[in-house]
Amino acid sequence: MNSAYTFSLLQGLWATVVLSMLTFLFGGLVGFIVGLARTSPTWVISRGAAAYIEIMQGLPLLVLMGLCFYGPSILGYDSLSPLPAATFALTLYSSAYLGEIWRGCIRAVARPQWEAAECLGLNRWQRMRAVILPQALRIAIPPTVGFMVQIVKNTSIASLVVGYAELSYNAKIINNATFEPFLYFGIAALMYFAICYPLSVQSRALERKLNVANR
């Protein structure tokens, strides 16, 4: 295989990793806030978070990415470059799903745990921090890592809208020059697998580590 093509695929792999990490960092932070807001006893906050989730989940990622990339120029501002535009769109998209995942995990903590924490005289934030969230974390690991894998694969959409040169985009460019789709898309598939498989392995290891009750 041509060394230039190898370098191009490695560049695409790095671009995919960078976009995935930024997405999960910012999407995770926003999703955590959304998940907490979704469980808030205050109706306005809870419904506002629910509306955000419904809107973001109702928009196709392709459309959302187009809005983030072309929207500023329509409003008279400078367009975002490909990486910030893709990160912003994927953050909005992922935060809605992660917020709903984590809301479900918080609600999945047994009701007696909430009542026991309340009997200790803890306020809501203290109950969440010391009792509920540590238990919800263990429940949240499998669906969260599963969604992380989806984020890695969804980065390929960035090349279709904003022209971000990630792994699948570079594989397509190389294929257009060589007409060897099985070779280069096969290598790209192995690279995606090399990112996603360790996530699943670490998820199972961390889940076993945190599952203190069943040791």
Fill in the DSSP letter of residue 59: S
What's residue 27's pLDDT? 95
Which pLDDT does position 110 carry in this prediction?
Answer: 86
Residue type, 116: A
CATH class of 3-214: mainly alpha
d(CA 86, CA 26): 12
pLDDT, one tens digit for every residue, the chain (215 residues): 688 899 999 999 999 999 999 999 999 999 999 999 999 989 999 999 999 999 999 999 999 999 999 888 887 788 788 999 999 999 999 999 999 999 999 999 888 888 888 887 788 788 888 888 888 988 888 889 889 999 999 999 998 888 899 999 999 999 999 889 899 999 999 999 999 998 888 877 877 776 654 54
pLDDT at site 211: 66
CA–CA gap between residue 159 and residue 161 (Å, rounded): 6
DSSP 77: S
What are residue 12's phi and psi, to 5 degrees? -65, -40
Residue 190's pLDDT is what?
95
Residue 86 and residue 22: Cα distance in Å, rounded? 10
Task: Report the pLDDT value the prediction gives residue 80, as an integer from 0 to 100.
Answer: 83
Contact 194, 121 (CB under 8 A): no
* CA geometry: angle 150, 70, 89, nearest 5 deg: 25
DSSP conformation class of 81: P
Q: How many Å separate Cα 195 from the centre of its chain? A: 14
